[in-house]
Amino acid sequence: MKEVAALTHDDTFSEATLSAADWSDQHANGLQLGTVRLVNVDLSASRVEKLKVTDGELTKCSLANLQGRAAEVTRVTIDGTRATGMAAPESSWRDVTFRGCRLDMASFGFAHLTRVTFEDCLMAEASFLDARLECVRFHRCELTRGDFRGASLERCEFRGGDLTDLEGVTHLRGAAIDWPGIIANANLWAAALGIEILDAE
């Protein structure tokens, strides 16, 4: 694929591999990427509303502070990518895997996530405000101060992660949490249920 210095609205790329491209701080609504492999591509601080990515791989890319309202991401693997502060409200994520990514302060508000896996990701202060999560797995992720207020969860699981100071704990109904996670955050669950913890006699 030839080097693309600037994106434009409704650009389409398919059956392509792109490495070390700088697409940062651009405005390109309707961008479509199909069957693509992106390596070290920088999309930081770009506005790409209605972005569509299908059958792709993103490796060591930057999505930091990306604005991706109403994105559609399907059958995509995202490895070692920095997405600090990414905002993807009203987006759709289906059959997506995040591995070893930075998603701190990322926002999935009002998004719909189906069969999405987060593995070994830093997700401090990530927001799933009013999001719908179906078959979503959080494995060994740091979710400190994550926000699940208004979210609905179905067949989701949390394993081996840090759930300290989660917001919207009562909206985790429908999730499964491993026993160490239950024990480590007993104070959090008790507070959510209005249970007072007594000091040992």
- Residue ranges and CATH numbers for the domains of the chain are 12-180 (2.160.20.80)
Long-range contacts of 144-153 (CB under 8 A, 24+ apart): 148/172
Residue 192: predicted pLDDT: 75
Interior/surface letters 88-97, b for 16+ CB within 10 angstroms, e for the rest: bbbbbbbebb
- pTM comes to 0.91
Residue 99: what pLDDT?
A: 98
> Minimal CA–CA distance to 175: which of 125, 128, 108, 110?
128
Mean pLDDT of 69-73: 98
Distance CA 23, CA 164 (A): 35
Share of the chain above pLDDT 70, in %: 97
Ranking 15-19, 52-56, 118-122 by mean pLDDT, the lowest is: 15-19
Q: What is the pLDDT of residue 5?
A: 58
Contact predicate 67/47, CB 8 Å: yes
Q: Look at residue 198 and give its three-state secondary structure.
A: coil
Dig out the tokens for 31 from the structure: 């961008």
**Does the structure show a pLDDT above 90 at 147?**
yes
If 0-12 CB within 10 Å is exposed, 13-18 middle and 19+ buried, where does residue 128 land?
A: buried
Would the pLDDT of 201 be above 80? no
What's the rounded Cα separation, in Å, for the pair 111 and 142?
20
Residue-averaged pLDDT of the chain: 93
Q: How does pLDDT run across 22-66, given as a tens digit for each residue?
A: 999 999 999 999 999 999 999 999 999 999 999 999 999 999 999
Q: Band of the pLDDT at 4, cuts 50, 70, 90? A: low
- Rounded CA separation 100/180 (Å): 22
